[in-house]
Chains A and B, each alone.
Chain A
Amino acid sequence: MSLRLYVPADSAAVAVGADDVLAAIEVAARNRNLALDVVRTGSRGLFWLEPMIEVQTPQGRIAYGPVDVSDAESLLEAMSGNGAHALRLGAPEEITFLKKQTRLTFARCGVVDPRSLTDYCSHGGYKGLERALADRAGIVDTVTQSGLRGRGGAGFPTGIKWKTVADTNASQKYIVCNADEGDSGTFADRMIMEGDPFLLIEGMTIAGIAVGATRGYIYSRSEYPRANAVMNEAIAAARKGGMLGRDVGGSGHAFDLELRVGAGAYVCGEETALLESLEGKRGEVRAKPPLPAHKGLFGQPTVINNVLSLVAVPHILEKGAAFYRDFGMGRSRGTMPIQLAGNIKHGGLYETAFGITLGELVDEIGGGTLSGRPVKAVQVGGPLGAYFPRALFDTPFDYEAFAARDGLIGHGGIVVFDDTVDMAKQARFAMEFCAVESCGKCTPCRIGSTRGVETVDRIVQGIEPAKNLAVLRDLCETMKFGSLCALGGFTPYPVMSALTHFPEDFVPRPQLEAAE
């Protein structure tokens, strides 16, 4: 009899030792003449419990974690015996962090073998495509009715984007998936590509059939080698299994896709810069109009959606627009895979309906800081997102609610900082990052960011602070309204929020660096 183990091969699990733990367990098993049947899964997203190893029992899967190499012997003893172990977590679905979630998009992540098309199909995969094919003309309407909005951060209604492309006449249309997940604090795209890649393939296929596009590109990052490898394997498997190619699943529709990898430019996460990059050019932002929906990749009508938008689609098609729309609040419908990151006790992926408050996410679900110190600020939405103080922890996770408080939800990343953080330093970093990553096309972003760094420096050095604070505010206004894209346009969010909510950090201080 062999023991079936589920061991995550997710990058974050591997980064904290999943491969080493598995190797130790394999050695221990050989010593006991115990056969193992190991399935490498993605992660369930409970990263403080990684490496989290699950064993198949007659009562279902039982999880243990976080497992260290030194636990291999005792863990194997427990798993092949009565199951008792200090690291035993019980049934993974019953762990509070997971139990309280509404996992629609991430239902299979950490459960299935991401490299197996068979596994995907036996866990409900391709049901969405089946429904889509049954009523091809109704796909766009279903997506529109579901209320799905762009999960990359802009929040534009996905169905309307699709309709625009569907209504165009062109010899070639494209589906482009923005997997250039460069925002710090976000890892949902990476997780889904590593844990359930066929879901993205299915979502893109549905988009292709809906708008009449036969080619697709996934634009991923060079910083994600594992995700890219898994994604490429899945694409090959889907092609082999007849789910990509000239006749998708025997439907008569052609759709094929390819993974392309960026080269370390943050701005390529901006959709028009991404298209330029895919075309083989410098990742410089295009002026809009024309919209990518009219003139996108190689000048052809193009649907460009974030990974998280596309992976929400199969579920919407399978269960219907109303099912998805019933989750959420206001104009933010459905679920959002929120990523709890940084200095947080229980970091990980938390998929839930819109409407949960920031305080619940950080304090209750996240358990506060990892360092045990008080939370001072949280940055929501990546490097271009605002820093929120505790006073704003009642803000519900909702596109409009965050906008009303001069913030954004972006790609759903929340980075927690404890009370040791220096907010002037964070504001300086935001400007510095913008300066490094600016594509250089528009002046407010290219020059403004550099002047921003200098101005923050002058403020903390005590050089005419009042005057320079006014300059910084004015500069932020210019960048916000004068930049071509969100890089220059949103950099003022972290800067201004730091200044507004934490003015005490901007008072001149003794310059320790100057002593060097």
Chain B
Amino acid sequence: MTNYQKWNADVAAQVIGAHVGREGPLLPILHELQETFGYIPEPAVPMVAQALNLSRAEVHGVVTFYHDFRDAPAGRHVLKLCQAEACQSCGCDTLTARAEKALGIKIGETTADGRITLEPVYCLGLCATAPSAMIDGRVVGRLNDKKLDALLTEADR
């Protein structure tokens, strides 16, 4: 799991300032804001808009277009289970159901205690060692019940 900073406008301004001179700076800025705070905090949107001479609506439109950008912090651990065809052919549906049952949430949700977010991902490029998962940025191939249970235990901490 990653440690994120609490919202801080000065830090946000620094992040934005570091990219402002680049060609097409918006995505790099949003990525770094999310890497810093764990999500795109609402007060950052007008700051980004002002720095790039865009409207708040345009920035909001970009933030909400891309699946990666969050409007709220994720759980302390993020478990992504690939739902794409190669993983389907190797039984990812059953594994997803198992994870949902164990955590008592549906894919796309976070447990009530904020411990873990279960997310779908469409292809990690590990299609010859399917089914695939990613936990807190670490990739896992040939996922099976045993490995999944171990990941869920790991995320218990």
Contact = CB atoms under 8 A, between A and B. Distances in A.
A347 B129 contact: yes
Interface string A229-266: 00000000000000000000000000000001111111
Contacts of B122: 182, 184, 266, 433, 437
Contacts, number: 149
A264 B125 contact: no
Contacts of B30: 263
A142 interface: no
Interface string A178-200: 00011111110110000000000
Interface in A263-284: 263-266, 277-284
A187 B126 contact: yes
Interface stretch (A23-31, A82-90, A321-329, A338-346): A338-346
A316 to B, nearest CB: 25
Interface in A373-400: 379, 383
B26 interface: yes
Interface stretch (B4-12, B64-72, B109-117): B64-72
B86 A261 contact: no
B68 A413 contact: no
Dominant secondary structure at the A interface: mixed
A340 B130 CA distance: 11
Interface stretch (A108-116, A118-126, A219-227, A472-480): A219-227
Overall SS of chain B's interface: loop
Interface in B11-56: 23-28, 30-31, 52
B107 to A, nearest CB: 13
Contacts of B141: 12, 15-16
A11 interface: yes
A277 B123 CA distance: 19
Give the size category of A's interface with B: 35 or more
B4 to A, nearest CB: 17
Nearest to A215: B23
B86 A185 contact: yes
Given A15-B140, A342-B85, A342-B86, A280 B24 contact: yes
B102 interface: no
A184 B84 contact: yes
Interface string A199-222: 000000000000000000000001
B129 A282 contact: no
A14 interface: yes
B85 A15 contact: no
Given A187-B127, A263-B31, A339-B128, A280 B89 contact: no
B85 A50 contact: no
Contacts of A263: 27, 30-31, 66-69
Contact of A341 (B28, B58, B66, B127): B127
A342 B85 CA distance: 8
Contact of A15 (B24, B25, B84, B139): B139
Contacts of B89: 342-343, 415-418, 421
B127 A223 contact: no
Given A183-B123, A223-B121, A280-B26, A341 B68 contact: no
B61 to A, nearest CB: 5
B1 interface: no
Contacts of B66: 262-265, 283
Contact of B62 (A222, A281, A347): A281
Interface string B126-157: 11111010100101111000000000000000
Interface in A395-443: 413, 415-418, 421, 426, 429, 433, 437, 439
Contacts of A298: 23-24
Contacts of B28: 260
B36 to A, nearest CB: 15
B90 A186 contact: no
Contacts of B125: 11-12, 181, 186-187, 189-190, 223-224, 227
B27 A260 contact: yes
B124 interface: yes
Contacts of A12: 125-126, 128-129, 139, 141
Interface of B: 23-28, 30-31, 52, 58, 61-62, 65-69, 84-90, 121-130, 132, 134, 137, 139-142
Given A15-B129, A413-B127, A426-B85, 9 more contacts: A16-B141, A184-B127, A185-B127, A190-B125, A260-B28, A261-B31, A341-B130, A379-B85, A383-B84
8 contacts: A12-B141, A15-B142, A223-B123, A226-B139, A280-B24, A347-B128, A413-B127, A439-B65
Interface of A: 11-12, 14-16, 47-48, 50, 181-187, 189-190, 222-227, 260-266, 277-284, 298, 339-344, 347-349, 370, 379, 383, 413, 415-418, 421, 426, 429, 433, 437, 439
